[in-house]
């Protein structure tokens, strides 16, 4: 059960993060240009109008003048149209030039390849090669040519390419070129997205289900089907028979009832892909897409086939089509992957058509085998030819180094080759000779254990795997002639550095500079240190690094070498005071700016961010001595503020850290070595498990999560009412231990003296009766004198009483007023008096309510007053929002405090009962009184004694940068009272009535 809960939590977290990321919108949308093809009708037409209304600069490509005129009439003047036939190269060239003139230096933000056709669609045997070509020219080759023509403009804007595919690009249901073309669009989009990953261009695919557009017009589809039948050979007609056509046409006639008319489901996906900062790689539009076809695409082929059996002819035999693993995962550009995706689509549709005929269709998906096609020399020659034919712009964009790395990748194929193709031919033979051949055969271990499993993964995971595979391969490449290269390492006396001084020949240059020298002490709370303490560390760790680097940079430039700066995880998350973290943050900033400056000079800058390792710098005795020295030099005020007790736990923590140090320094030096010797070093290296799995992840969290405490708490004043005992008393002591300046208001002299004796001079007390205005005014003036110009950081309205409480009929108006005057009127009076000082500090108001402020479980003034506290808190919170004042409400469950007085609940109820008129007592009955008293007393006995749960909530509301609006300490508050408050009133009444006894006069 726990495992499923964890899994549910992880899935929920994933979708929560995705939802948050996808809500972020690109800035300056009104300055961005988007070109949409196929805008005559359907998705393209609606998207053009949608983006036009949003303020984007829409360039709409239509096939006809009539379509363009109609769109212009429906849109604003900023929308421009152009005539484009995606099957004609000259039309695409003219449109590209037209777009270039309009976008200028800005480039093209979005390209939406929406133009498409569906007919002819019919069983494959009824069609000709020209029928397939007609669809492929528009849906696939047109998409490719338009994309390649406009890609330089999209790159310039670091924009988006949105390709409209279909659910038929995942599951091939009909014959003809449509499914094949959409499979091809998927392959082209996948390979393009991976190529453009580092250029900032994002590629998204839209996979809509069945929608009502010109393409899904039943009459046009029927006519295309009839034409294909009429053109079919007599043999094919005889094979299928006249009876086959009629039910097929009937199915087509039913199509309009299945179509979704809300095209905005698709255009909203397109718009999101163009406007969000983090678009998805695939969008599924329509319930049929989400819940039928996309799930089907992940099933084994045999199950999909059985679920999609068409009405077909009877015949026998086998068709074996050679595809490839690249027909499942598109890894390279060009037509190969696209063609293999197309073969998969064609084979799937053909197999379903022939499933009742006895003809079986199998697909062979081999991995990497040694053939003439996979020979490195052949691949290298083709790659070289493509490079030579590329435009100067493209060559400049990729660079000669890219070509060299691609040629090296071709050489790697030798290692991956399966020498003998027998594994493939055995699969072919099995498909031809077995009574029950498979639908797909995977030949080769790479196909079975890598590429096929990858094809079932979500796209973003496949992209991530490929990214790390490419990175792993790139990082294995080692710089040549290492024995001729010079490296200078600073801090060679430290265990992490070792080098001998050598005189460098000026002609050679310096290949590597490793800035490793550093110091850590003194490290202590910042208030204990002086400017000189900070300077002592900064001079070595930061200014020394900068000066050494700048002095030796000309030599490093000459060798086009490396600069390796040793930073720390403390350069990502500042955990200790003193100059160390500051200097390492500075090293990170210097390294980042230096790396960007030297990018085009061939010099590479890397940072090493080790965790906690055993070196001279992390010697616990030295750090402890530095801490003691800093304490000894601290001023008397600082010592009084922290107290002698603070130093001991600090030293104890250091001793504990000593046990956590990693002895294996090779983890760090291996990173340094890789940065110096790899052809493609990383920009940052994290060494040590603590760095990788704790501190580096923490550094990526929002600051509000990794450092959520208000600064300078020691300078802030907090005024707490009701500090004689209970929550107020414990909170006052808790905040003093935290170093805050507490102004504690007590009701009695005895309570004030006891609290003062238990705490330090940082706490001051005053007597306060919240029911008397003159007492509140005197306390307000006293607080004003204490806080001065800085204002009051927090007001905690904690004073309260619980008695008298009981059935409402047993009480008088005075009983209600006694409680309400303290719990509500007093709270309001104190708040209004203190508010000017709180606004000055932009501080906090923390009001003590109760679970009884959400569910009125007992009669009397207590629940009434707490409901009033909730209302007052909600209204004042909204009023003070723009002043920077935050208001929190504490709603504890049942805790053991002195709120019920010294005499207790039982005595209070007995007094109330005895003063009742005899008539009232008779209506309730003695048994009611006994049972009611017993149940309430038992509830109080079960009260939780751990009142620190409540005071911790109060403390969080005071010290957190982002306090909650409501806090519900206690299991009963969370699991009983809160749910009861959310239920319909009738249900809550029914549940609570089971708890109360039945009166004698009950109905």
Which residues are designated catalytic? 862
Q: Is 443 helix (H, G, I), strand (E, B) or coil?
A: strand
CA dihedral 238, 239, 241, 246 (to 10 degrees): -130
The single residue listed with the structure tokens 């009125």 is 856
User: What is the DSSP code (8-state) at residue 821?
Assistant: I
- Alpha-carbon span 365 to 347, nearest angstrom: 12
Give the contacts of 134 (CB within 8 A, at least 6 positions apart).
117, 120, 177
Pairwise CA distance, residues 780 & 719, whole Å? 10
Give CA angle at 366 (365, 369), nearest 5°.
165
Tokens 């009429």 sit at which residue?
A: 230
According to DSSP, the residues that pair with 320 across neighbouring strands are 362
Contact 669, 470 (CB under 8 A): no
From the list 343, 122, 135, the residue with the least C-alpha distance to 252 is 122
Element (H, E) at 210: none
Nearest to 834 by CA among 847, 821, 822, 823: 847
Q: Count CA within 13 A, CB hemisphere, residue 519.
A: 17
Is 954 in contact with 890 (CB distance < 8 Å)?
yes
Contact 332, 374 (CB under 8 A): no
Count the neighbouring beta carbons within 10 Å of the beta carbon of residue 381: 12
CB 950, CB 892: distance < 8 Å: yes
Beta strand spans in 278-430 (E): 282-285, 317-322, 359-366
CA-wise closest residue to 402 among 679, 715, 667: 679
Q: Which residues contact 89 (CB under 8 A, 6 or more apart)?
A: 145
φ, ψ (nearest 5 deg) of residue 152: -60, -35
Measured CA to CA, the distance from residue 693 to residue 378 in angstroms comes to 45
Query: Going by C-beta distance under 8 Å and a sequence separation of 6 or more, which residues neighbour residue 72?
Result: 79, 81
Beta-sheet strands, E only, within 95-195: 110-113, 160-164
Q: What six digits make up the tokens of 274?
A: 């163009």
Name every residue whose Cβ is closer than 8 Å to that of residue 168 and which is 6 or more positions away in sequence.
174, 178, 179, 182, 345
Contact between 780 and 749 under an 8 Å Cβ cutoff? The reply is no
Distance CA 167, CA 112 (A): 18
| Residue 904 near residue 802 (C-beta atoms within 8 A) | no
Long-range contacts from 629-638, C-beta under 8 angstroms, 24+ separation: 629/522, 630/522, 630/524, 630/525, 630/528, 630/529, 630/533, 631/524, 631/528, 633/528, 633/530, 634/527, 634/528, 638/527, 638/528
Residue 689: how many other CB atoms lie within 10 Å: 12
* Cβ partners under 8 Å of residue 62, min gap 6: 38, 39, 40, 68, 71, 81, 82, 83, 84
Q: How many angstroms separate the first and last alpha carbons of the chain?
A: 46
Spatial separation of the C-alpha atoms in residues 552 and 952, rounded to whole Å: 55
Write the burial class of residue 995 (CB in 10 Å: 0-12 exposed, 13-18 middle, 19+ buried): exposed
Reply yes or no: is the peptide bond before residue 522 cis, omega within 30 of 0.
Answer: yes
Q: For 886-930, give the DSSP string.
A: EEEEE---SB--GGGTTTHHHHHHHHHHHTS-HHHHHHH-HHHHH
């Amino acid at each position: 059960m726990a495992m499923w809960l964890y899994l549910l939590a992880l899935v929920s977290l994933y979708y929560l993060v995705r939802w948050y990321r996808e809500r972020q919108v690109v800035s300056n949308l009104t300055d961005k240009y988007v070109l949409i093809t196929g805008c005559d009708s359907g998705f393209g037409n609606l998207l053009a109008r949608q983006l036009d209304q949003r303020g984007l600069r829409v360039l709409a490509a239509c096939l006809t003048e009539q379509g363009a005129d109609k769109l212009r009439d429906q849109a604003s003047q900023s929308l421009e149209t152009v005539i484009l036939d995606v099957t004609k190269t000259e039309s695409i060239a003219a449109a590209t030039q037209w777009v270039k003139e309009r976008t200028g230096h800005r480039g093209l933000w979005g390209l939406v390849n929406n133009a498409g056709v569906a007919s002819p669609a019919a069983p494959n045997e009824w069609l000709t090669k020209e029928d397939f070509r007609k669809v492929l020219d528009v849906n696939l080759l047109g998409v490719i040519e338009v994309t390649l023509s406009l890609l330089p403009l999209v790159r310039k804007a670091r924009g988006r390419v949105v390709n409209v595919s279909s659910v038929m690009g995942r599951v091939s249901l009909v014959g003809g070129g449509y499914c094949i073309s959409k499979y091809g669009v998927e392959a082209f989009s996948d390979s393009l997205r991976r190529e453009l990953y580092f250029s900032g261009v994002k590629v998204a695919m839209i996979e809509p289900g069945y929608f009502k557009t010109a393409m899904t017009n039943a009459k046009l589809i029927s006519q295309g089907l009839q034409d294909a039948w009429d053109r079919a050979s007599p043999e094919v007609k005889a094979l299928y028979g006249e009876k086959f056509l009629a039910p097929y046409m009937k199915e087509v006639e039913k199509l309009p009832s299945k179509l979704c008319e809300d095209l905005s489901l698709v255009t909203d996906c397109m718009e999101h892909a163009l406007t969000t900062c983090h678009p998805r790689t695939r969008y599924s539009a329509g319930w049929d897409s989400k819940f039928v076809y996309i799930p089907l695409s992940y099933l084994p082929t045999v199950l999909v086939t059985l679920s999609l059996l068409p009405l077909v002819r009877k015949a026998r035999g086998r068709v074996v089509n050679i595809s490839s693993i690249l027909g499942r995962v598109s890894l390279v550009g060009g037509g190969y992957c696209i063609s293999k995706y197309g073969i998969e689509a064609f084979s799937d549709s053909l197999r379903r058509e022939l499933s009742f005929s006895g003809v079986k269709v199998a697909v062979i998906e081999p991995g990497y085998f040694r053939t003439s096609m996979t020979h490195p020399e052949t691949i290298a020659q083709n790659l070289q030819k493509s490079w030579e034919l590329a435009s100067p712009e493209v060559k400049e964009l990729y660079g000669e180094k890219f070509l060299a790395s691609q040629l090296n990748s071709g050489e790697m194929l030798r290692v991956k080759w399966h020498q003998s193709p027998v594994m493939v031919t055995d699969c072919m033979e099995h498909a031809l000779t077995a009574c029950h051949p498979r639908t797909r055969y995977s030949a080769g271990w790479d196909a079975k254990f890598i590429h096929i499993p990858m094809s079932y993964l979500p796209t973003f995971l496949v992209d991530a795997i490929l990214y790390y595979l490419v990175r792993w391969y790139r990082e294995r490449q080692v710089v040549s002639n290492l024995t001729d290269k010079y490296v200078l390492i600073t801090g060679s006396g430290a265990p992490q550095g070792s080098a001998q001084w050598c005189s460098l020949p000026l002609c050679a240059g310096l290949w590597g500079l490793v800035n490793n020298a550093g110091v850590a002490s003194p490290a202590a709370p910042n208030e204990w240190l002086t400017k000189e303490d900070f300077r002592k560390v900064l001079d070595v760790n930061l200014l020394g690094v900068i000066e050494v680097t700048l002095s030796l940079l000309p030599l490093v430039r000459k060798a086009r070498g490396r600069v390796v700066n040793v930073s720390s995880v403390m350069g990502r998350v500042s955990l200790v005071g003193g100059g160390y973290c500051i200097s390492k943050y500075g090293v990170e900033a210097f390294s980042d700016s230096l790396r960007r400056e030297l990018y085009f000079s061939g010099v590479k800058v890397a940072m090493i961010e080790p965790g906690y390792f055993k070196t001279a710098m992390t010697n616990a005795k030295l750090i402890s001595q530095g801490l003691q020295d800093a304490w000894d030099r601290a001023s008397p005020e600082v010592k009084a503020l922290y107290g002698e007790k603070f130093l001991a736990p600090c030293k104890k923590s250091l001793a504990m850290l000593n046990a956590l140090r990693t002895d294996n320094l090779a983890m760090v030096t291996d990173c340094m070595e890789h940065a110096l010797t790899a052809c493609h070093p990383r920009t940052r290296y994290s060494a040590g498990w603590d760095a990788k799995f704790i501190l580096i992840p923490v550094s990526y969290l929002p600051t509000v999560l990794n450092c959520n405490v208000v600064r300078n708490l020691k300078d802030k004043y907090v005024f707490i009412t009701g500090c004689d005992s209970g929550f107020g008393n414990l909170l006052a002591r808790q905040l003093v231990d935290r170093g805050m300046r507490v102004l504690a208001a007590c009701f009695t002299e005895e309570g004030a003296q006891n609290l003062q004796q238990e705490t330090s001079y940082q706490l001051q007390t005053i007597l306060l009766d919240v029911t008397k205005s003159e007492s509140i005014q005197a306390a307000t003036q006293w607080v004003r004198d204490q806080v001065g110009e800085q204002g009051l950081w927090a007001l905690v309205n904690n004073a309260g009483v619980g008695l008298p409480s009981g059935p409402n009929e047993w009480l008088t108006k005075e009983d209600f007023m006694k409680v309400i005057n303290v719990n509500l009127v007093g709270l309001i009076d104190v708040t209004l008096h203190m508010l000017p000082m709180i606004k000055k500090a932009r501080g906090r108001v923390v009001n003590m309510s109760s679970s009884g402020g959400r569910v009125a479980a007992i009669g009397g003034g207590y629940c009434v007053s707490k409901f009033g506290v909730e209302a007052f808190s909600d209204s004042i919170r909204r009023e003070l929002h723009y002043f920077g004042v935050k208001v929190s409400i504490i709603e504890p469950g049942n805790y053991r405090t002195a709120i019920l007085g010294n005499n207790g609940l039982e005595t209070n109820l007995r007094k109330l009962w005895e003063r009742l008129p005899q008539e009232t007592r008779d209506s309730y009955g003695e048994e009611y009184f006994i049972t009611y008293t017993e149940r309430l007393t038992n509830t109080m006995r079960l009260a939780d004694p751990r009142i620190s749960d409540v005071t911790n909530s109060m403390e969080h509301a005071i010290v957190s940068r982002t306090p909650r609006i409501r806090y519900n300490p206690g299991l009963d508050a969370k699991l009983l009272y809160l749910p009861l408050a959310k239920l319909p009133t009738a249900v809550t009444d029914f549940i609570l009535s089971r708890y109360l006894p039945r009166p004698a006069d009950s109905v």
